[in-house]
């Protein structure tokens, strides 16, 4: 009990004992009033305490939620670090592959290097004189178009490798 409520109770008792009464009913009424007042005080104190408990429960709930968020944030930081490490490895491999491609491109000869076929070969095969002329035209066009076709194909293949 609070000190103020004790002193109030004592004062009420003194009033009750010190007051001359001719009727017992007035003592009971006074006693009932004092009890009602005391109960009201106790009820108010209980409401304040319940309010404090409710506030503490809300704070506890907030702290638990914050703790969960902190745990999630820590996990995300770990994931980001792992992804950065993987990214560094992949960037290193990518750089190495790019250097390899550059070396391979430099080493590739884009010229048509097939040997010339002599006219006598076609005639020995039993073809007439017009056939070797036609074959020379076909092979000449092929030797001109092959390097550019190879370059185009190499660019397409290189581009496909990055998709």
Q: What is the pLDDT of residue 46?
A: 97
List C-alpha distances in Å: 86 to 36, 38, 82, 83, 137. Answer: 74, 72, 6, 5, 56
User: Could you give the angle at the alpha carbon of 34 between the alpha carbons of 32 and 40, nearest 5°?
Assistant: 100
The residue extents of the domains of the chain are 111-163
- pLDDT in tens for each of the 163 residues of the chain? 455 555 565 665 555 555 544 445 555 567 888 889 999 999 999 999 999 999 999 999 999 999 999 999 999 999 999 999 999 999 999 999 998 888 887 776 666 566 778 888 888 888 888 998 888 888 888 777 777 776 676 665 555 544 4
pLDDT score, position 31: 83
Per residue in 106-131, is it b (16+ CB within 10 Å) or e — as a string?
Answer: eeeeeeeeeeeeeeeebeeeeeeeee
pLDDT for residue 143: 74
- Given this model, what pLDDT does residue 22 score? 45
- Give the pLDDT confidence score for residue 69 in this predicted structure: 96
């Amino acid at each position: 009990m609070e000190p103020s409520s004790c002193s109030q109770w004592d004062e009420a008792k003194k009033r009750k004992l010190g007051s001359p009464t001719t009727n017992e009913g007035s003592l009971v009424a006074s006693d009932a009033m004092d009890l009602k007042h005391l109960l009201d005080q106790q009820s108010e104190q209980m409401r304040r305490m319940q309010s404090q408990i409710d506030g503490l429960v809300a704070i506890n709930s907030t702290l638990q939620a914050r703790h969960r968020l902190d745990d999630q944030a820590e996990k995300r930081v770990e994931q980001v670090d792992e992804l950065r490490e993987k990214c560094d490895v992949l960037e290193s491999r990518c750089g190495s592959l790019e250097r390899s491609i550059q070396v391979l491109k430099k080493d590739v000869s884009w010229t048509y290097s097939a040997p010339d076929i002599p006219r006598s070969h076609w005639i020995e095969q039993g073809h007439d004189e017009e056939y070797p002329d036609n074959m020379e035209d076909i092979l000449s066009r092929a030797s001109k178009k092959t390097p550019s076709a190879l370059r185009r194909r190499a660019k397409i293949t290189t581009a496909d490798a990055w998709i």
